[in-house]
Structure 1
Amino acid sequence: MNLIDHKQILPPGLMDNSAEFFIHEHEVKALYKGRVWKFEEFPPELIEIIDNDMASNPKAMKALAEWDITDSGEQMRQYIACRFGGFDNNPDICLDGKVQPAEYVDCGRRGRCAYEGKLCSSIVLENGTLTKKEIEVLRQIGLGLLDKEICEVLGIAQDTLRSHKDSLCLKSGLQRKAALSVLAYQYKLI
């Protein structure tokens, strides 16, 4: 058989020693060394890397303590879920063992979590970080809603919406609503 090697983008951890964390069936898991690991099965070297990353992030550790999560295993589980819980094609731990910055994960608590921005990452664009309200506006744009509908859904005035859209355009460097819709898709807001 003559197989042609196609250039494919494979998920991190499938064919190498990088790692990708994700949430599946309400469990923290990792794709690492070619297999999916449940949190309880994580190999010691993976635990050590995350443990060191947690130790270097006092703001996140303070948030976990304020959240009243005292068990070290539960702290690590929540830390991973909040910082790396979305499956994507960017490794959370690179081949060299370096932990990447937290990624934006739309966990369902966004806008209501007291620890937002302390444990998790906000959306940081070319010219600034999006506010919670800007993220909500971006999500509605991504869903294809008309301005009037966005105002109704979010309970805001047209002028307020215009201000949020102007800010989104400024921070993203994008000028069209269609481009903002693509941005919403890229950040998995829709």
Structure 2
Amino acid sequence: MDNRQSLPPGLVDNAVEFFIHQHEIKCLYLGNVYTFDQLPEFVVAIVEQDMLSNPKAMQALASWDITDPLEQMRQYIACRFGGFDNNPDISTKGEVLPAEYVDCGRRGKCPYEGKLCNSIQLPHGLLTKREIEVLKEIGLGSYDKEICEKLSITQDTLRTHKEHISTKAGIERKPALAVLAYKLGLI
């Protein structure tokens, strides 16, 4: 019997995985699902500390005119950790792990993008918004001409974006970029 089965964080351990389900923030911890209003106290304390260590995110919340502390925390969790990606948001040691990429529907239009939420960190650099858009289209199986038309860019610009993504990811071929898009949850 193969015991290398991958289980979601928090299902059988004390890691924490936040996610949004039916427009509500929830977390998985020790096999239980908690709503935002039921978050264990230690989880709230860890998130509060993380918020304090991210002044750029707190400034974005203030600029967004979110001043109520609970609403700030709700938006902070949604923007930074709202995707169920099978990677813990808080490790079994109580450490907040890097924020994940969450496609909230506002990507590319939100004035707080990159301040409150995260871009995608690859081994050799962060992806730009445009590189994420290109990678998503590659993952969807779009042809280069279709990507250029949809994103209103030239073939040369597309080639440059693909080169930058490949360099940042440490991969070379377009099929590997499609796999990367899937692994990152872009498709």
Q: TM-score, normalised by structure 2?
A: 0.95
Q: Which moved more, 1:158-167 or 1:4-13?
A: 4-13
Q: Show the counterpart of 1:20.
A: 17
Contact 2:48 2:73 in 1 (8 A): yes
Structure 1: segments with no counterpart, 5+ residues: none
Deviation track 1:67-109 (CA, whole Å, cap 9, x = no partner) reads 1101111100110011111112211111121111111112211
Distance in 2 separating the partners of 1:82 and 1:16? 24
Q: Show the counterpart of 2:87.
A: 90
Three-state SS of the structure 1 residue aligned to 2:60 is helix
Please state if 1:144 is matched with 2:138: no
Aligned-pair identity (%): 66
Report the RMSD for the aligned CA atoms in angstroms.
1.3
Contact 2:85 2:185 in 1 (8 A): no
Contact 2:9 2:88 in 1 (8 A): yes
Match of 1:105 among 81, 94, 102: 102
Q: TM-score, normalised by structure 1?
A: 0.94
Distance in 1 separating the partners of 2:166 and 2:5? 33
Please state if 1:53 is matched with 2:50: yes
Distance in 1 separating the partners of 2:6 and 2:155? 42
Could you list the structure 1 runs, at least 4 aligned residues long, displaced by more than 3 angstroms after superposition: 4-7
Deviation track 1:12-46 (CA, whole Å, cap 9, x = no partner) reads 11112211000000000000121100001112111
Distance in 2 separating the partners of 1:166 and 1:14? 39
The amino acid of 2:18's aligned partner reads F
Three-state SS of the structure 1 residue aligned to 2:25 is strand
Measure how far apart 1:126 and its partner are.
2.2
Measure how far apart 1:5 and its partner are.
8.1
**1:3-82, aligned counterparts within 5 Å?**
6-82=3-79
Q: Show the counterpart of 2:165.
A: 168
Distance in 2 separating the partners of 1:43 and 1:166? 44
The amino acid of 1:54's aligned partner reads M
Structure 2: segments with no counterpart, 5+ residues: none
Q: Which moved more, 1:4-13 or 1:161-170?
A: 4-13
Larger radius of gyration: 1
Three-state SS of the structure 1 residue aligned to 2:17 is strand
